[in-house]
C-alpha cells in the first residue's frame, strides 16, 4: 500500500476548501454557532473540521485503517475514539465468553477489569516478576505462563501488558509461542507501545512478536490526540467479524473526526519518518541517562540493566535520595517548570517521544540536579500474594455493595480494584477476598505516602465490598 497517502488529511483539506451550507450535525455548524469565548481560545479551525461521519469520511476512514494495518503489520485495524480502554473491552468480548477462563497478567490496567465485567469471563491472574531493589514490575514471564497453561487447560485467552508503564516489554515472542502451542490467542494491552516496530533500536512490537490482538494508545507515545487509539488483530485465533461487532457495540456512532484524522497522520508520520524522528528521541534519552548518571543519589533504569526496556521511557529512582516522588514532582514544577508523567513513592516516570526537545531534557536534568537529599533511603513495600477469588469481577460488579471502614473490610469480598503505584500491580481486584496481608500492605503504602489508584475513597479510609456473600 502507498503509505505516503493520508486519506483523512485529504478529506480535511477538501472540506476546508469547499464552501457549503452545513445542515448536518454537530449543531455548531462548523463553528458558525460557537460561543465567541471558545473560539477565542481554540480558533475556528477545530470547529470547521468537527465533521460527522459523512459518507466520504467513512470511506476514507476505512482506507486509513487499511493503511494503519499494513504499517503495523496487522491483518485488520480499527480506529478507536475512546482510548485503549475500548479496545481492551472489545478484544476480551471477542475472545472469551461469559464463564470461560482468561489468564490475565496481574499488572493489568483497570480497563481489563472493565472488560471482565462486560464479558463475564473468569480471570485467573498471573503473577508478574518484581524487582524489589528498584520497586519495578517486570511483567509476566514465559515460565509463569507455561505453568499456568499446564494447570488450566480450559483457558480460552491470555492477556498481558507490554510495555508496562515503566517501558518494560518482557519476552513477547516467547509468550506468543507458548500460547499458540495450545492454539490460544495472546491479547496484548500495548497502550504504551504504539511506536514500537518503527525503529530498529526500539523493542519489537507485540504484533511482530506474534500477538493475536493488540491495542495501542496512539495518543500516549505516538502523536495522535488524547483518546485516539488503535486495535489490531492478526492470525486465525481471533474472529475479526466478532471483534468488529464488539468494536461497534462499544464505540459511538459519531466518532470525532479530529481524533480519526490525528490517527491517520500519526500512522503516516511513524511509517514515513519514525526512524529519523525516533533516532532523535533515542539520542535525547541517551543524553538524559548519561547526564543523570553523574548525579549523586539519583538512579535511572537503563536498557543495560533491564532487558526489553523501551529506552524512551525514563524512570528515575529516588530510593537513595530519601525523598518521595510526590514532593519532588511538586518541586520540579514549581521551581523548574518540569512536569513528569507520573510520580510514585520511589520513582518519577518521564515519557520521551518525538515531541520531546533538547531544551526539555536540559530542564529535566537541571531540575533533578538541584534536588536536595531527604532523610533515610526509601524502602519499597513489596506487593503481596494474590488474594483468593470469591466471585468473578462481573458478579462483584452486579452484586449489592456497601462501603465499610477499611479496618472492618477483612474477610469481605472487594467490589473495587486497588492498585498502588509503584509498581502498578493491583493488590486487590473486584471479587477477591480482603485479606489481612492486603490490608497491611495497603496501609503501609498509604502511610509511606504512596498513591493507591482505583478505589472510590482516595484517602483509603473506606472500601466498597459486597453486601452479602455471592
Ligand atoms: C497499561 C495501560 N493500559 C490501558 C490504558 C488505558 O488507555 P486509554 O487511556 O488510551 O484508554 C492505560 C492508560 O494509562 C494504561 O496505562
What are the pLDDT digits (tens) for 17-27?
A: 999 999 999 99
On whether residue 88 sits in a domain, the answer given is no
Residue 413 buriedness (CB in 10 A; 0-12 / 13-18 / 19+): buried
Number of domains in the chain: 2
Tell me: pLDDT of 375 over 90: no
State the closest ligand 1 atom to the C-alpha of 107, by its place in the atom list counted from 1.
1
Give the confidence band of 422 by pLDDT, cuts at 50, 70, 90.
Answer: low
On whether residue 335 sits in a domain, the answer given is yes
Instruction: Tell whether 283 and 341 lie within a shared domain.
Output: yes
Which residue owns the Cα nearest ligand 1 atom 13? 191
User: Which residues are CB-contacts of 93 (< 8 A; sequence separation ≥ 6)?
Assistant: 115, 118, 119, 246, 249, 250
Angle at alpha carbon of residue 427, lines to 250 and 107, rounded to 5°: 55
Tell me: pLDDT of 448 over 80: no
Give the model's pLDDT for residue 174.
98
Q: What's the predicted TM-score (pTM) here?
A: 0.96
217 C-alpha to center of ligand 1: Å? 7
Q: Which structural domain range is residue 433 located in?
A: 393-466
224 ligand 1 Cβ < 6 A: no
Alpha-carbon Rg for the chain, nearest whole angstrom, is 23
Least confident of 233-242, 317-326, 448-457: 448-457
Instruction: Tell whether 342 and 293 lie within a shared domain.
Output: yes
Give the confidence band of 384 by pLDDT, cuts at 50, 70, 90.
Answer: confident
Instruction: Tell whether 365 and 292 lie within a shared domain.
Output: yes
What is the CB neighbour count within 10 angstroms for residue 334?
A: 9
168 C-alpha to center of ligand 1: Å? 15
189 ligand 1 Cβ < 6 A: yes
On whether residue 322 sits in a domain, the answer given is yes
Instruction: Tell whether 294 and 359 lie within a shared domain.
Output: yes
| C-alpha closest to that of 175 among 144, 197, 136 | 144
Average pLDDT, the chain: 95
Boundary residue ending a domain (311, 337, 369): 369
Residue pLDDT, tens place only, 123-142? 999 999 999 889 899 999 99
Give the model's pLDDT for residue 338.
97
191 ligand 1 Cβ < 6 A: yes
Tell me the Ramachandran region of residue 91: left when phi exceeds 0, alpha when psi lies from -120 to 50, beta otherwise: alpha
Average pLDDT over residues 406-420: 93
CA distance 27 to 34: 9
Sole residue written with cell 534536588: 371
On whether residue 127 sits in a domain, the answer given is no
Instruction: Tell whether 359 and 401 lie within a shared domain.
Output: no
On whether residue 103 sits in a domain, the answer given is no
Tell me: pLDDT of 456 over 90: no
Instruction: Tell whether 363 and 442 lie within a shared domain.
Output: no
User: Which residues are CB-contacts of 126 (< 8 A; sequence separation ≥ 6)?
Assistant: 103, 104, 105, 106, 140, 144, 145, 148, 160
121 or 382, greater pLDDT: 121
| C-alpha closest to that of 413 among 385, 440, 393, 441 | 393
Instruction: Tell whether 350 and 399 lie within a shared domain.
Output: no
Give the model's pLDDT for residue 457.
87
Residue pLDDT, tens place only, 29-75? 999 999 999 999 999 999 999 999 999 999 999 999 999 999 999 99
Q: Are 53 and 254 in contact (CB under 8 A)?
A: yes
CA distance 413 to 429: 9
Instruction: Tell whether 454 and 400 lie within a shared domain.
Output: yes
Give the model's pLDDT for residue 423.
65
85 ligand 1 Cβ < 6 A: yes
**CATH value at residue 317:** 3.90.1150.10
On whether residue 185 sits in a domain, the answer given is no
On whether residue 454 sits in a domain, the answer given is yes
Boundary residue ending a domain (337, 369, 401): 369
On whether residue 17 sits in a domain, the answer given is no
Instruction: Tell whether 360 and 282 lie within a shared domain.
Output: yes
Give the model's pLDDT for residue 420.
81
Give the model's pLDDT for residue 119.
97
Average pLDDT over residues 404-427: 88
**CATH value at residue 398:** 3.90.100.10
Instruction: Tell whether 397 and 444 lie within a shared domain.
Output: yes
265 ligand 1 Cβ < 6 A: no
CA distance 246 to 93: 7
Give the model's pLDDT for residue 460.
86
Sole residue written with cell 480519526: 260
Strands (E), 151-234: 155-161, 186-189, 213-216, 229-233
Q: Are 349 and 310 in contact (CB under 8 A)?
A: no
Boundary residue ending a domain (336, 369, 402): 369
Tell me: pLDDT of 242 over 70: yes
Least confident of 22-26, 258-262, 279-283, 445-449: 445-449
116 C-alpha to center of ligand 1: Å? 16
Hey, which of 84, 86, 250 would you mutate to test ligand 1's pocket, going by the most ligand atoms within 8 Å of its Cβ?
Answer: 84
Amino acid at each position: 500500500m502507498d503509505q505516503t497517502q493520508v486519506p483523512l488529511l485529504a478529506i480535511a483539506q477538501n472540506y476546508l476548501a469547499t464552501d457549503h451550507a452545513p445542515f448536518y450535525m454537530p449543531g455548531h455548524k462548523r463553528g458558525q454557532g460557537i460561543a465567541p469565548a471558545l473560539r477565542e481560545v481554540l480558533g475556528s479551525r477545530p470547529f470547521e473540521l468537527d465533521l460527522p461521519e459523512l459518507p466520504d469520511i467513512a470511506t476514507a476512514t476505512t482506507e486509513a485503517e487499511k493503511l494503519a494495518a499494513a504499517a503495523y503489520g496487522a491483518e485488520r485495524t480499527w480506529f478507536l475514539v475512546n482510548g485503549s480502554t475500548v479496545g481492551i473491552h472489545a478484544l476480551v468480548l471477542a475472545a472469551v465468553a461469559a464463564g470461560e477462563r482468561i489468564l490475565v497478567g496481574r499488572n493489568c490496567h483497570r480497563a481489563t477489569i472493565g472488560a471482565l465485567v462486560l464479558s463475564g469471563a473468569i480471570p485467573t491472574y498471573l503473577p508478574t516478576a518484581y524487582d524489589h531493589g528498584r520497586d519495578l514490575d517486570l511483567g509476566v514471564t514465559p515460565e509463569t505462563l507455561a505453568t499456568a497453561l499446564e494447570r488450566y487447560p480450559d483457558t480460552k485467552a491470555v492477556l498481558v501488558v507490554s510495555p508496562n508503564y515503566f517501558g518494560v516489554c518482557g519476552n513477547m515472542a516467547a509468550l506468543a509461542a507458548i500460547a499458540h502451542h495450545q492454539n490460544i490467542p495472546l491479547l496484548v494491552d500495548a497502550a504504551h507501545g504504539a511506536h514500537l516496530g518503527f525503529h530498529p533500536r526500539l523493542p519489537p512490537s507485540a504484533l511482530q512478536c506474534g500477538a493475536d490482538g493488540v491495542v495501542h494508545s496512539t495518543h500516549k507515545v505516538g502523536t495522535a490526540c488524547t483518546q485516539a487509539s488503535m486495535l489490531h488483530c492478526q492470525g486465525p485465533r481471533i474472529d475479526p467479524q466478532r471483534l468488529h461487532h464488539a468494536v461497534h457495540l462499544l464505540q459511538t456512532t459519531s466518532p470525532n473526526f479530529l481524533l480519526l484524522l490525528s490517527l491517520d497522520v500519526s500512522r503516516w508520520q511513524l511509517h514515513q519518518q519514525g526512524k529519523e524522528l525516533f533516532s532523535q528521541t533515542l539520542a535525547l534519552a541517551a543524553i538524559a541517562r548519561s547526564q543523570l548518571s553523574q548525579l549523586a543519589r539519583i538512579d535511572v533504569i537503563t536498557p543495560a540493566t533491564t532487558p526489553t526496556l523501551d529506552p524512551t521511557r525514563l524512570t528515575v529512582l529516588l530510593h537513595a535520595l530519601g525523598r518521595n516522588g510526590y514532593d519532588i514532582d511538586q518541586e520540579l514544577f514549581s521551581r523548574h517548570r518540569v512536569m513528569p508523567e507520573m510520580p510514585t513513592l520511589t520513582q518519577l516516570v518521564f515519557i520521551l517521544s518525538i515531541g520531546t526537545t533538547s531544551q526539555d531534557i536540559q530542564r529535566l536534568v537541571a531540575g533533578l540536579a538541584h534536588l536536595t537529599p531527604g532523610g533515610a533511603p526509601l524502602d519499597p513495600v513489596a506487593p503481596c500474594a494474590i488474594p483468593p477469588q470469591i466471585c468473578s469481577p462481573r458478579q462483584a460488579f452486579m452484586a449489592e455493595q456497601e462501603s465499610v471502614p477499611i479496618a472492618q473490610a477483612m474477610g469481605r469480598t472487594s467490589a473495587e480494584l486497588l492498585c498502588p503505584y509503584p509498581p502498578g500491580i493491583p493488590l486487590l481486584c473486584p471479587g477477591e477476598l480482603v485479606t489481612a496481608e492486603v490490608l497491611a500492605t495497603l496501609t503501609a503504602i498509604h502511610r509511606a505516602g504512596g498513591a493507591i489508584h482505583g478505589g472510590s475513597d482516595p484517602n483509603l479510609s473506606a472500601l466498597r465490598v459486597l453486601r452479602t456473600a455471592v
